[in-house]
Amino acid sequence: MNRFYVLLVAVALIGGGMLWYGSRREAAPAPNAPVPSTTADGFRGYTLGADTAKVDVTEYSDFECPFCASFATVQMPVIRQQLIAPGKVRWRYRDFPLPSHQYSRYAALAAQCAGEQGKFWEMHDQLFTNHQWAQTGKNPSGLFRDFARTIGVDVDKYDACVSSQRYAGRIQASVQEGEALAVRGTPSFFVNGRPFQGRATSDDFKALVDSLTKQHK
Amino acid sequence: MIRRQAIALLALVGLLVATYLWLYKIGVLGELKCGTGSCESVQTSPYAEVFGVPVAFVGVVGYAVLLLIGIVGVQPRFAADRRVRVLLALLATIGFGFTLYLTAIELFVLHAICRWCVGSAVIITAIWTLALAGLIRAPSPAAPTR
């Protein structure tokens, strides 16, 4: 009987000690704030749709922004189906992480690092579909690594890319480009280079694209 | 007696695992050590809460109660008490059923596996098996004498 209590106390002490130690160690901060002075690489954003599409839509978006997540999960599937898949629209995604969002630049980096392995849109969908990470305020680095693993990204390469902030310069260049175009909030859209003034709904995009397509005929 | 000691020890390990996941959930721990699993996907999913209560906290309470009953059950005066056997079997069955539901969610809805949850599932399965064995193999009460 005594051995039982000794064992019980030993397990409790060892386990409790490990929990205490774990709670004292700070998690590695997500690299959100300082942007290294890397140069832009001339990248113009990941695209969906045919190069020959008559209408080009550029979206400036922020992965932590709830409106962007709502647009990506509610409107975008319809736009993909009705406008992008038939070859009417080419959609371009540009990063515009807002400074008020703690992890949006880190999320943009995660998406770019997945994009390096040909999985940008898959990561884009993971970040927006599982958007609860943006409400918790917790360091999402482990979660994003889970997303990367789920979509089939080589996690070692992904980790190396994220930790070196390989595409921080590219993201910053995208932000500067948006600022030069007077982007103030997200999501913001430009249709054939002109600011889109309609509502961010698939119906409004469809109406505009239909009218532009008729003009081209 | 050995079975109840084993249940108490397993419940203690389960309590530690559940506490680890709960500390993550309430923000005390920044990141889960998960290796090859998808712990954070599971823990930040909507299924990680039941009626607003973190599933991990349900685990903390459940394992704590099992631990308490296990320790009480090894006391000599409760060694032959059938109520302890029934209570252990009942709670372990509830825990086992809840774990089956959570594992199904992981496998068929989230398509993600949290290895800490797998660890907890193994622990509650072992507790359930021991508790049922304790209930089934218990000596039948002596016939009342007149």
The per-residue pLDDT for range A143-166, each reduced to its tens digit, is 899 899 989 999 999 999 998 889
Nearest CA in chain A to B111: A150
The predicted pLDDT at position A78 comes to 94
Q: A138 contacts in B (CB within 8 Å)? A: 27, 30
The predicted pLDDT at position A188 comes to 93
Q: A110 contacts in B (CB within 8 Å)? A: none
Q: What's B112's DSSP letter?
A: -
Please state, in angstroms and rounded to a whole number, the distance separating the CA atoms of residues B70 and A178: 63
A159 bridge partner residues: none
The predicted pLDDT at position A1 comes to 60
Residue A212 structure tokens: 């532009």
Confidence tier at B30 by pLDDT (50, 70, 90): low
A101 Cα to chain B: minimum distance (Å):
18
The predicted pLDDT at position B146 comes to 44
Nearest CA in chain A to B27: A138
B44 → closest Cβ in A11, A19, A136: A136
Nearest CA in chain A to B43: A143
- All residues at 6 or more sequence positions from B7 whose CB lies less than 8 Å from its CB, including other chains: B66, B70, B73, B88, B92, B127, B130, B131, B134
Q: How many CB atoms lie within 10 A of CB A183?
A: 20
B66-90 mean pLDDT: 89
* Contact flag B111-A149 (C-beta cutoff 8 Å): no
In a 10 Å sphere around its CB, with 0-12 CB exposed, 13-18 middle and 19+ buried, how is residue A154 labelled? middle
In a 10 Å sphere around its CB, with 0-12 CB exposed, 13-18 middle and 19+ buried, how is residue B10 labelled? buried
B120 has a pLDDT exceeding 60: yes
Length of chain B: 146
B19 has a pLDDT exceeding 70: yes
Residue pointed to by tokens 């660890």: B119
A19 Cα to chain B: minimum distance (Å):
7
Q: Domains of chain A by range and CATH? A: 55-216 (3.40.30.10)
Q: What share of chain A is helix, strand, coil (3-state, %, to 5)?
A: 55, 10, 35
* Contact flag B29-A8 (C-beta cutoff 8 Å): no
Interface test with A, best of B44, B47, B78, B123 (most A CBs within 10 A): B44
**Boundaries of every domain in chain B:** 2-136
Assess A27–B contact: CB distance below 8 Å, yes or no: yes
The predicted pLDDT at position B36 comes to 64
The CATH H-level superfamily of B2-136 is VKOR domain (1.20.1440.130)
By three-state DSSP, how is residue A211 classified? helix
Please state, in angstroms and rounded to a whole number, the distance separating the CA atoms of residues A30 and A20: 23
In a 10 Å sphere around its CB, with 0-12 CB exposed, 13-18 middle and 19+ buried, how is residue A101 labelled? middle
Assess B125–A contact: CB distance below 8 Å, yes or no: no
Please state, in angstroms and rounded to a whole number, the distance separating the CA atoms of residues B108 and B40: 17
Averaged pLDDT of chain A: 87
Neighbour-count burial for A109-140, b at 16+ CB within 10 Å, e otherwise: bbbbbbbbbebbbbbbbbbbebbebbeeebbb
Please state, in angstroms and rounded to a whole number, the distance separating the CA atoms of residues A92 and A90: 7
Q: What is the DSSP track for A27-39?
A: PPPPS-SPPP-PP
The predicted pLDDT at position B137 comes to 75
pTM: predicted TM-score of the whole model, two decimal places:
0.62
Instruction: Give me the phi and psi of B50, to 5 degrees please.
Output: -125, 115
B40 Cα to chain A: minimum distance (Å):
5
For chain B positions 3-22, those within 8 Å of chain A (CB to CB) are: 5, 8-9, 12-13, 16, 19-20
Q: What is the pLDDT of residues A32-53, one digit of tens each?
A: 444 444 556 778 899 999 989 9
Assess A26–B contact: CB distance below 8 Å, yes or no: yes
For chain A positions 104-143, those within 8 Å of chain B (CB to CB) are: 130, 132-133, 136-143
In 3D, which of A24, A30, A23, A16 has the Cα closest to residue A136? Answer: A30
A17 Cα to chain B: minimum distance (Å):
10
In a 10 Å sphere around its CB, with 0-12 CB exposed, 13-18 middle and 19+ buried, how is residue A65 labelled? buried
In 3D, which of B97, B103, B131, B130 has the Cα closest to residue B119? Answer: B103
ipTM: 0.78
A177-198 mean pLDDT: 90
In 3D, which of B90, B87, B60 has the Cα closest to residue B72? Answer: B87
Q: What is the pLDDT of residues A7-31, one digit of tens each?
A: 889 999 998 888 887 766 654 445 5
Helices B115-136 and B82-104, interaxial angle, to 10°?
A: 150
